[in-house]
Amino acid sequence: MGFFLNRKLISEIVPGILTVSILVGICFAKNVPANFVFGDSLVDVGNNNYIVSLSKANYVPNGVDFGMPTGRYTNGRTIVDIIDFTPPYLAPTTAGHVVLQGVNYASGGGGILNKTGTIFGGRINLDAQIDNFANTRQDIISMIGAPAALKLIGSALFSVTIGSNDFINNYLVPVISVPEQKLISPQVFVATMISRYRLQLTRLHNLGARKIVVANVGPIGCIPYQRDSNPAAGDNCVNLPNQLAQLFNTQLKCLITELNTDLQGSQFAYADVYHIVEDILQNFISYGFENANSACCYLVGRFGGLIPCGPPSKVCRDRSKYVFWDPYHPSDASNVIIARRLLDGDSNDITPMNIRQLAGL
């Protein structure tokens, strides 16, 4: 009952933009009793509203197509909203039987490594997000008993979308002293990320997760922020960030294969967001976009990438024509394409199975 009630309330706020995703969510919910979301600002639905942080999106013009700012770093929905709405863990209303349908733990600025995002002050990195899920798990056990709780969690969908900040807001951050990339090679840094990520994903398995979607890092060298921060690249994407993402993604895909072999009873799916976004950028006109390199919400910079989206910003006339909403994040229109390809795409988009197939296991 709660599932349909929650979506009814949301659709009354913004009936137009959410109609498709509500229908997808209702169909999807038949196979998945709950949806637990981990990640960064790409999938944060408001957790950073409740912490002291420089990374926030609960102000205009964010959410202009959602009906109001909610803490989502886009004009409308995140990727996970389009698959299924889940409430932010830190919201006071995310309590009691609400959590039986799933919870979103994602945090803007968060990363795989605990050092990531220190420039923002407050953020909830992946280790802390999993701690929060452990608390939810205990609450579920207290409500419905251990056998029913473990069955629910084992049938639920888990998704993890994280890693971009470990590069953008850690390894690649210019500092007054020597930048970290001068001290640590990309290979060593990525190996450190993968090592930590292995422990974190294994811990989710040990807490009962069995259906786990892991998204790779997208082409971060193509976001407006990187374009404006590296003007020498001209009209092209910036090479180094994309090379780092590809180095990480190659090892992440091997890690997912390893976990599927070693963690019996679990099914991990590798979501190739890099491939999907790259395809959108290369063929943006065929997807109905008119702009594939600039922020729709902009203030300073050739690509509008130098200042985060906020009240002083200008907003493009037609948000559906822009791949990027702000210096860092996709628009709602892009998120719809990404979500649909993860839901129903082939092995080029997500492997060894798509989200709908995973949900049906």
Q: What residue type is 260 in one-letter code?
A: N
- Catalytic site residue from 21, 41, 294, 313: 41
Distance CA 262, CA 38 (A): 22
What token pair was written down for 12? Answer: 């009354």
- Catalytic site residue from 272, 329, 331, 332: 329
Distance CA 204, CA 99 (A): 17
- Catalytic site residue from 65, 228, 272, 326: 326
Q: Is the peptide bond before 69 cis (omega within 30 degrees of 0)?
A: no
Distance CA 144, CA 275 (A): 41
Report the relative pairing of strands 267-271 and 350-351 from DSSP bridges: antiparallel
Q: What residue type is 330 in one-letter code?
A: P
Cβ-based neighbours of 333, under 8 Å, separated by 6 or more: 288, 289, 319, 320, 321, 322, 323
How long is the chain?
A: 361
Among 303, 113, 315, 141, smallest CA distance to 197 is for 113
Q: Taking CA 10 as the corner, what is the angle to CA 80 and CA 314, rounded to the nearest 5 degrees?
A: 75
Q: Is 326 part of the annotated catalytic residue set? A: yes
Residue pair 219/225 in contact by the 8 Å Cβ criterion: no
SS3 97: helix
Q: Catalogue the active-site residues.
A: 41, 326, 329
